[in-house]
Amino acid sequence: MDLGIDGKWALVCAASKGLGRSCAAALVREGVNVVITARGVEALRATAAELRAANPAVQVRTAAGDIATEAGRAAALEACPQVDILVNNAGGPPAGDFRDWNRTTWIAALEANMLAPIELIKATVDAMAERGFGRIVNITSAAVKMPYDALGLSNGARAGLTGFVAGLARQPRLAARNVTINNLLPGPFDTERLRSNVAAGAQRGGQSFEAAWAARMQANPTRRYGRPDELGALCAFVCSAHAGYMTGQNLLLDGGSYPGTL
Ligand code: NAP
């Protein structure tokens, strides 16, 4: 299927590794020019080189910086000639017990996983509406539907973003101008982040990493972890010309873990 977004520009945040990187790769395959961001310069450059090699017809630019900061967002926006597609993503907050978190801990989680996406939406959405095309995808988490006890910071910050997006996406000044805003809710995907979370959980529970990794995999109806390219492919479709009638949705990719009928 031709997704109809060849030649568009996408800003894909937190995209040197993992899910963000897969979203960028899927868009590049569709002929979308991308700006990718991350804090670590080395991995960012390496990923950019791989993306260029995958499709030499597109432009791939990098913007190093922390997307949770104003400076990081300014650098990302500066690098992108026009943002037709915005993929909001950042590292997830740490696991732990809420009794150990203070205001600073909470503000850091909110900055990365709620306020940064909102600021980037604010910076780009009206120009998208003027041009009559815009796709915004927020990578959130299955925790929005089914909270993880140890990830209270993530549960809270992402629920806040989800509530905000639910209202904004339905504004006719956006929806009627072919601007959509949707959230992708990953369950367990095999990335560095998941491996480090499982390792931390294993340590807390006095288990080996291998045993914890295998147990988590067996607990999923598919008996496997999600592959980041599976999320990237869905992201590209949600950003496609064909997806203009889908907005304000929360799309769960969890191998069927969520036990609800709807
Ligand atoms: P990952 O493999 O650790 O990759 C994270 C990427 O984001 C890296 O490129 C990292 O590069 C970049 N990054 C992190 N913090 C950043 C920041 N503040 N500013 C700019 N770039 C930043 O993680 P992932 O598994 O892809 O997870 C992506 C998001 O999905 C996270 O919020 C995670 O909580 C959420 N999620 C993941 C899963 C899963 O199973 N993997 C499930 C549910 C939700 P630098 O470190 O160099 O900045």
Residue-wise pLDDT tens for the chain (262 aa)?
Answer: 999 999 999 999 999 999 999 999 999 999 999 999 999 999 999 999 999 999 999 999 999 999 999 999 999 999 999 999 999 999 999 989 999 999 999 999 999 999 999 999 999 999 999 999 999 999 999 999 999 898 999 999 999 999 999 999 999 999 999 999 999 999 999 999 999 989 988 998 899 999 999 999 999 999 999 999 999 999 999 999 999 999 999 999 999 999 999 9
Residues 6+ apart with CB under 8 A from 174: 125, 128, 129, 134, 168, 181, 247
Distance from the alpha carbon of residue 100 to the mean position of ligand 1, in angstroms: 23
Backbone dihedral angles phi then psi of residue 240, each to the nearest 5 degrees: -80, 170
Q: Which residues line ligand 1 (CB under 6 A)?
A: 14-20, 37-40, 43, 66-68, 72, 89-92, 112, 139, 141-142, 186, 188-189, 191-194
Burial degree of 128 (CB within 10 A; 0-12, 13-18, 19+): buried
- Amino acid making up residue 110: L
In terms of Cα–Cα distance, which of 70, 94, 72 is closest to 15?
72
CB distance 105 to 127 below 8 Å: no
Distance from the alpha carbon of residue 13 to the mean position of ligand 1, in angstroms: 9
**Is the pTM value of this prediction over 0.95?**
yes
In terms of Cα–Cα distance, which of 8, 51, 45 is closest to 232?
51
CB distance 153 to 111 below 8 Å: no
Q: Which of 11, 21, 36, 39 to mutate to test the pocket of ligand 1 (most atoms within 8 A of CB)?
A: 39
CB distance 231 to 19 below 8 Å: yes
CA distance 43 to 171: 38
Residues 6+ apart with CB under 8 A from 222: 255, 256
- How many residues are there in the chain? 262
Closest C-alpha to ligand 1, atom 32: 92
Q: Which of 119, 193, 198, 235 to mutate to test the pocket of ligand 1 (most atoms within 8 A of CB)?
A: 193
Distance from the alpha carbon of residue 191 to the mean position of ligand 1, in angstroms: 9
Q: Which of 11, 12, 16, 19 to mutate to test the pocket of ligand 1 (most atoms within 8 A of CB)?
A: 19
Closest C-alpha to ligand 1, atom 24: 18
